[in-house]
Structure 1
Amino acid sequence: MMMGGGGGGGGGGEKGSGLRKIRMQIATELVVAVVFNLVMCVPGEVVGGVVRQHSFYVRPPAASASRSFAVDKLPQQQKKSSSSGTDPDQMHVSLAGPGQMKVTWVTASEVPASVQYGKTSGQFTKIASGVTKQYSYIFYESDLIHHVILGPLEPSTIYFYRCGGFGPEYNFTTPPPAGPNVPIKFAVVGDLGQTDWTASTLEHIATLDYDVLLFAGDLSYADFYQPRWDTFGQLVSPYANYRPWMVTEGNHEIEHIPFLTESFRSYNTRWEMPYNESGSSSNLYYSFEVAAAHILMLGSYTDFDTNSPQFKWLQADLEKVDRSKTPWLIAVLHAPWYNSNSAHQGEGNKMMAAMESTLYAAKVDIMFAGHVHAYERAQRAYLMKPDPCGIMYITIGDGGNREGLATTWLDPQPVWSVLRESSFGHGELDIVNATHAYWSWHRNDDAEPVMADSLWITSLSTAESRCVSSNLKAVIQSHSTH
C-alpha cells in the first residue's frame, strides 16, 4: 500500500491525507487505463455469465467531457442548495411497484435511511425507512448510497419529501393511474454520458411534461473510473429527483475486472430497479406497469439464450400480461436488433435469435435500443423483413456521450429501415389511449429541440391492427422443448 510522506508542523496530517488521496487517484487512473485496454481487447462472447458482444467497429476519438450543466435554467426547487456531508446528493427516483416510488440518494456522512414525505410542502405526515449500501472498487470506496421505498402513493399527485432528515425539501410527481385508456408520456433516451451534448439533451427533456423516463443503457460512461459515477449522479440529479427514471444496463456498465470485481457492481448498487417486484432474480432485467403500458426492461449483457434465467423470467412475465388492462407492450434494451449503421453490426443478433419469436407472438408494440450513437426508426418487422404485425424497432443511442456520433450507414438502406440520422437527441412517446400513441424524435443540435421525426402508432392489441392473435403459450412451449 502507499505510504504518506512526512509532514512538518501543524496541518501536516491534513496535507498528508490530501497527498494520499492524490496518489490514490493517480494509481486508480493508471490501473483503470490498463484494465480498460486489456478488457476491451479480449475477444469472446460470454465471460462469467456476461455476454460481451464485439464487432469490428472502431469508435471515433472521444469528445471532451463536461461536468457542468445549466443549473441556473432549472426551477429553483430542483437546485442542489448545500454541499454538507449529511445533505442529499446524486438523487433520483424510480418506480418500485404499484403505488410506490423509490428514492435513492448519496451522502458522505451517515444519516438515517429514511424519507419524510407528504402532499403539502413543509408538512411531512409520513416516514419510510430503507437500506444503505456501499461498495469498493480497486482503490475507490463509494459514499453511502440510500434506497427508500415510499407508498402507498396516490397517482398523478405531487409529493414533497426530505431525505435522511437533512437538507432541503424536494418533490416528485407520481405517474397516472392504471387503466387501458389512461394517457401517459414517456421521455426516451440512451447513451447519455456527461458532455455538453448530454447537457443539451437533459435541458430539452426538462422542458417536457413527461411522466416517466425510459433509459436504454450506457449511463455514466465511467468505464471503470468510479468518480465518474459520482459526477454523473450530480449531473442528472436535478432532472431525476422529480420524475421517475427507469433504466437498463449497457456495455459501459459491465466494468468487470477478472479476479477483482464482479460485473455491474457500481450499476447494481447505485441504480437499483424493481426487479424483485417483477419476479426477476437480477437487476439487469425486470418489468413494470404504468398507466396503459407494460414495459419490459431487458438485459443485453447477461445470459439470454432459451435456457437462461432471463429467458425463463421473460416467458413467465409475458404470460401474466393482460392486454385488456395494459394494451401497450414495450421493450427496452441496449444492443439493437435492427441496425443499418456500420457501428456494432450484428451485436444484437444472438439475442434476437433467442427472443424475437417470443416477443413477436406476444405482440410487442415497440422496442427501444441504444448502443449505436445515432437515431434510426424501422417499420414493423419480423425476421429482418417488414411485417405489419411485427415490432417497431427504434434505435435512440444519441443522448450525448463522449465517443461522438456513429456517422457511417450501410448502403443500400435495408427495406425495413424508414429513417436514420446521425444526430444527438431524445424521443417522446405519448400514449393517448388504448389504441393510439404518438412518437416523436427531437434533434438537439440546435439551441432549441427540433422535431425531426414523428408518426402515429396503433397498438397491436387492438382490432384496428388487423393482426391475428398468436398463440404465445405454444411459442413458449416450442422453446422449452429445445
Structure 2
Amino acid sequence: MGQLLSATLVMLLVFVANNGMQQTEAQGVTRPYVRPPARKNLELEFSLWQTSTSSATSPTQMHVSLAGPNKMKVSWMTGSRTYNVPAIVRYGTAQGQLTQVATGTTKSYNYLLYQSGQMHHVILGPLADSTTYFYMCGGFGLVYNFTTPPPAGRDVPIKFAIVGDLGQTAWTESTLQHVAGYDYDVLLFAGDLSYADYFQQKWDSFGQMMSPYAHYRPWMVTEGNHEMEYIPLLAPSFRSYNTRWDMPYAESGSTSNLYYSFDVASAHVLMLGSYTNFGVGSQQYNWLLADLKKVDRSVTPWLVVVLHAPWYNSNSAHQGDGDQMMEVMEPILYQAKVDILFAGHVHAYERTTRAYQMNIDPCGMMHITVGDGGNHEGLASEWLYPQPEWSMMREASFGHGELDVKNATHAYWSWHRNNDNEAVKADDVWITSLSGPKSGCESSTEFIMN
C-alpha cells in the first residue's frame, strides 16, 4: 500500500511539473549572473617522492568505478617504484571483517622527466546491490568504504551527479562539496579532469583533491581535450589519463579506454570519445553501432550519452568543435532514441529542448552542457543572439547537475549554481523517456551505415 501511494505521488508531481513546464518552456532564457572574481588556484601540499617507507607505500588518490555487473574497481596510487606494493584489496560488509581478498594490476608511466608512482587497479566482486562495503588498499592501513549502485531493473530509481571541466581551483572545491551533499549513486564526468596540461605533478594534486569525494561513490569519466597531452615523438596522447583512470571498456566490447558503455539500474550509459577517431568505419563508430544494437529498452529504458565537445552550443566559445562528430553520430543516436546527451568543454551551463539536426524535434535528444565545474580558465560568458529556438536555458556560472531517474518513464533534472558556499538550484525540468509507448518515438536498430 505504501509503495502504491509513493508511486501515485510521484506521478502526480510529474503531471503538475509537466503542465507547468509547458507554460514556461515556450521561450528560451538567457539568465545573466554577475560572478564574483575568480578564486585562486589551490596549492595542495603533496609529493610522490617522500623518503619514508610508510609514505611511499601508503595509498593516495583513491577512486572507485563500476567494473561490470555487480563489480567495482578500486584504484589508488603509491608514491615509489622502489617498494613494490601489492595490488591487493581486502574488503567486506563490516569494517572489522575484511575477509574477502581481490588482486589486480599495477601500472606506471614516464612522461619526459617525470616518473609516476604505481597506479593500482583492483576489481572487487561479485558484490550485492545497494550495499556499503569497507575496503583496505594494499592489504593494510586505513579502511575506506563505498556503496554499490541499485540493482538492475526497468523501474529502478537511480541518481546521477553530472560534472565537467573541474580543474583545481577553489571553485572546483566548492563544486565537489556541493556534489557531496547530493546522495547520488554514480557520478558522470564529461571530460577535462585535472587541467594538468603536460605538468604531470598536477595529476597528482588533482588525485589528492578528488580522493575524499571519489573513494565512496563510483566515478565514470570520459576524456576531454586537456587529457590529450600529446608531444610528437616523445609522448603519446592520453598516457596519464589512461594509466590513472582505467574505465571498464573491455566489458562493453570496446578496444579503447576512451569510449565505453555500462548498464546501471534502469539506464544504459554511453561514454563517447570526442578526441579519438569517430568517423564512419572507425573502431569507435563500429563499436557504437554494435553496442546500440544490444540495448534492450524494456530492461534499460533510459539511454544516456556523455562526451566532451557539445553538439548544440549557443555560446561563442568553442563554436563548431563538436560539429564533425555530430554529423557522423547524431543520426545513429536519433534512430536509437537517446534521451539525453551531456557535454562539457564550454565553461557555462546550457540546456536544450529535444532537438535533431538543429531543429526542435520531440523524438530528438535533450542536450545539456555542464562544462562549468570550476577550472582556472574561467567562464564562457559571451552568448550568441538571437538565442536559438532549441536553447531553453543558458547561464555562465560554475555549478553541477543532478539527474534523478524516478522510474522507467520519468526523470527530474536540476542544475545547481555555485553561489559562494551554497549550491543554488537555478534550473530544473521533468524529462520523459523516449522508450515509453506513449512517446510516439519508436527506436530502430537499422542504423545508418554510410
Q: What is the TM-score with the length of structure 1 in the denominator?
A: 0.82
- 1:472 alignment partner, SS class: coil
**SS, match of residue 289 in structure 1:** strand
Q: Does the alignment pair 1:85 with 2:59?
A: no
Q: Does 1:374 align with 2:348?
A: yes
Shift of residue 445, structure 1, vs aligned partner:
2.3
Aligned counterpart, 2:102: 128
Q: Which amino acid aligns with 1:429?
A: L
How many aligned residue pairs are there?
Answer: 404
Choose from 385, 388, 399 the match for 2:362. 388
Listed one character per residue, the Cα deviations across residues 411-457 of structure 1 (whole Å, up to 9, x for unaligned) are 10001000000000000000000000000000012321000000110
Structure 2 residue 376 is the aligned partner of structure 1 residue 405: no
Q: Secondary structure at the match of 1:380?
A: strand
Residue pairs, 1:428-439, within 5 angstroms:
428-439=402-413
Residue 66 of structure 1 is matched in structure 2 by 42
Q: Secondary structure at the match of 1:231?
A: helix
Aligned equivalents of 1:334, 1:221: Cα separation in 2 = 14
Counterpart CA distance in 2 for 1:141 and 1:322 is 45
For the 8 Å contact 1:132–1:144, the answer to whether it is kept is yes
Equivalent position of 2:210 in the other structure: 236
1:143 aligns with 2:117: yes
Q: How do residues 268-307 of structure 1 correspond to structure 2 at under 5 angstroms?
A: 268-307=242-281
Equivalences for residues 110-189 of structure 1 within 5 A: 110-189=84-163
Percent identity of paired positions between Structure 1 and Structure 2: 69
1:87-106 to 2 correspondences below 5 Å: 87-106=58-77
Q: Which residue of 1 aligns with 2:11?
A: none
Provide, for residues 65-120 of structure 1, a one-character-per-residue CA deviation record: whole Å limited to 9, x for no partner: 11359xxxxxxxxxxxx972221100000000000000000012421101000001
Structure 2 unaligned spans of 5+: 1-36, 46-52
**Distance of aligned partners of 1:418 and 1:147 in 2 relative to their CA distance in 1, 3 Å threshold:** same
Question: What is the rounded CA distance, in whole Å, between the counterparts of 1:64 and 1:402 in structure 2?
Answer: 8
- In 2: Cα distance, 1:87 partner to 1:123 partner: 21
Structure 1 CA distance for aligned equivalents of residues 333 and 217 of structure 2: 29
Pick one of 424, 431, 439 that aligns with 1:457: 431
Distance 1:447 1:145 in 2: 33
Equivalent AA in structure 1 for residue 88 of structure 2? S
Determine if contact 2:39/2:171 at 8 Å carries over to the other structure: no
**Residue 176 of structure 1: SS of its match in structure 2?**
coil
Matched to 1:67, the amino acid is E
Listed one character per residue, the Cα deviations across residues 279-312 of structure 1 (whole Å, up to 9, x for unaligned) are: 0000000000000000000000000011110000
| 3-state secondary structure, aligned to 2:419 | coil
Aligned to 2:316: 342
Does residue 249 of structure 1 match 2:198? no
| Residue identity matched to 2:134 | F
DSSP-derived class of the 1:201 partner: helix
Match of 2:445 among 457, 466, 472: 472
SS at match of 2:263: strand
Matched residue type, 2:178: H
On the 8 A contact 1:122/1:169 being kept in 2, the answer is: no
Indicate the residue corresponding to 1:222 in structure 2: 196
SS at match of 2:422: coil
* Correspondence for 2:21: none
Q: Tell me the residue number matched to 1:194.
A: 168
For residues 309-337 of structure 1, give each alpha carbon's deviation from its aligned partner in whole angstroms, at most 9, with x where no partner exists.
Answer: 00000000000000000000000000000
Name 1:75's counterpart in structure 2: none
Instruction: Give a deviation string over 1:217-248, Cα, whole Å, max 9, x none.
Output: 00000000000000000000000000000000
Q: Is the 8 A contact 2:403 2:412 kept in 1?
A: yes
Per-residue displacement from partner, 1:146-171 (whole Å, max 9, x unpaired)? 00000000000000000102220000
Matched residue SS, 1:102: strand
Q: Counterpart amino acid of 1:99?
A: N
From 297, 317, 322, the equivalent of 2:291 is 317
Q: CA deviation at 1:186?
A: 0.3
Structure 1: distance between partners of 2:268 and 2:131: 21
| Cα distance between partner residues in 2 of 1:182 and 1:472 | 25
Contact 1:67–1:235, Cα closer than 8 Å, also in 2: no
For the Cα contact (< 8 Å) 1:63–1:404, is it kept in 2?
no
Amino acid in the other structure paired with 1:472: T
Residue equivalent to 1:21: none
Rounded to whole Å, the distance in 2 between the matches of 1:228 and 1:463 is 49
Runs of 4+ in 1 over 6 A off after TM superposition: none
Structure 1 unaligned segments of length 5 or more: list them.
1-60, 70-81
* In structure 2, distance between residues paired with 1:346 and 1:145: 36
Q: Deviations over 1:27-56 (max 9, x none)?
A: xxxxxxxxxxxxxxxxxxxxxxxxxxxxxx
**How far apart, in 2, do the equivalents of 1:356 and 1:336 lie?**
12
Task: Quickly say closer, same or farther: Cα 1:328–1:250, change in 2 above 3 A.
Answer: same
Equivalent residue number for residue 355 of structure 1: 329
1:415 aligns with 389
Task: Indicate the residue corresponding to 2:48 in structure 1.
Answer: none
Cα deviation per residue 1:181-218 (whole Å; 9 max; x = unaligned)?
00000000000001000000000011111000000000
Alpha-carbon distance in 1 for matches of 2:58, 2:267: 36
TM-score, normalised to structure 2, is 0.88
Counterpart CA distance in 1 for 2:431 and 2:78 is 43
Which structure has the greater CA radius of gyration?
1
Deviation of the 1:63 alpha carbon: 6.6
In the alignment, is the contact (CA less than 8 A) between 1:294 and 1:326 conserved in 2?
Answer: yes
Taking a change above 3 Å as real, the CA distance of residues 111 and 344 of structure 1, as seen in their structure-2 partners, is: same
